[in-house]
Amino acid sequence: MEEVILFSSKKEMEKALAQQEVLTIQVGMVKYNMTRVGNEVYVFEQKCPHFDHSLANAKVSPYGKITCLWHNYKFDLQSGEESEERCRSLVTHQAEWTDDGQLMVKL
The 10s digit of each residue's pLDDT in 34-65 is: 999 999 999 999 999 999 999 999 999 999 99
> Angle at CA 6, nearest 5°, toward 103 and 29?
145
* Among 60, 84, 70, residue whose Cα is nearest residue 92: 60
Q: Tell me how long the chain is.
A: 107
The 10s digit of each residue's pLDDT in 94-104 is: 999 999 999 99
Rounded-to-5 percentages of helix, strand, coil across the chain? 5, 45, 50
Per-residue b/e over 18-27, b at no fewer than 16 CB within 10 Å?
eebebeeeee
User: How far, rounded to the nearest angstrom, does the alpha carbon of residue 65 sit from its chain's CA centroid?
Assistant: 10
Q: Alpha-carbon distance 38 to 90, whole Å?
A: 20
Give pLDDT, residue 69: 95
Give pLDDT, residue 1: 85
Q: Please state, in angstroms and as integers, the Cα–Cα distance from residue 24 to each residue in 2, 84, 87, following that order.
A: 18, 26, 23
Q: pTM of the full predicted structure?
A: 0.94
